[in-house]
Amino acid sequence: MSDFMPDSNNHELATVRATDLATSVAPMKLASTISSDSPANKARVFNATSGAVSLSATAEKDGLVLDVVDIFQTVGVRKSRNVMLPDSPCVNTYLLTTDGTTYMSQSDGIARSAYDLVSPSMFPDCGKSLPDGCLHLAVQAKKLANDNTIKSLVIVG
């Protein structure tokens, strides 16, 4: 349930209770190609989340190809760009590469692409059974008329 309250200019602002937000968000689908059955894998996931670099700050540069060996996702919170609006739930997507770098994104498009890539009908082992032992991925970004950007992962080479 939302409440409306006037601001200092007598405009009505919608406020959303946290419980309302939690019940209005569709269940998130999460993917992982790393099992958590061993202490080594648990440490690998922990270290990846602690040391991840921003995908948007680095990998979205033209021509950068990531050699991804594992993908995992967690529930996250995206900070609102507008101080009058609440933060929103999102999916944190982590891409682990052959050089040991982990990239993280909160993009909905990246999350969807990653989830689809490691689905049972695609590459559930994240390409480990392929000759190179990984998936060669790049970020594709399409600018929309409203200045938003739709991002996705694409397979290259």
Q: Are 70 and 126 in contact (CB under 8 A)?
A: yes
Q: Whole domain around residue 140: which residue ranges?
A: 28-155
pLDDT of residue 36: 84
**φ, ψ for residue 10, nearest 5 deg:** 65, 25
pLDDT of residue 91: 94
Please check whether residue 104 lies inside any domain of the structure.
yes
User: Rounded mean pLDDT of 135-143?
Assistant: 92
Please check whether residue 131 lies inside any domain of the structure.
yes
DSSP per-residue codes, 130-154: STTSSEEEEEEEEE-TTS-EEEEEE
Residue 4 burial class via C-beta count within 10 angstroms: exposed 0-12, middle 13-18, buried 19 and up: exposed
Count: domains in the chain: 1
Please check whether residue 11 lies inside any domain of the structure.
no
Please check whether residue 86 lies inside any domain of the structure.
yes
Q: 63 pLDDT exceeds 90?
A: no
Q: Mind listing the pLDDT tens digit for each residue in 102-119?
A: 999 999 999 999 999 999
pLDDT of residue 9: 45
pTM of the complete model: 0.79
Please check whether residue 6 lies inside any domain of the structure.
no
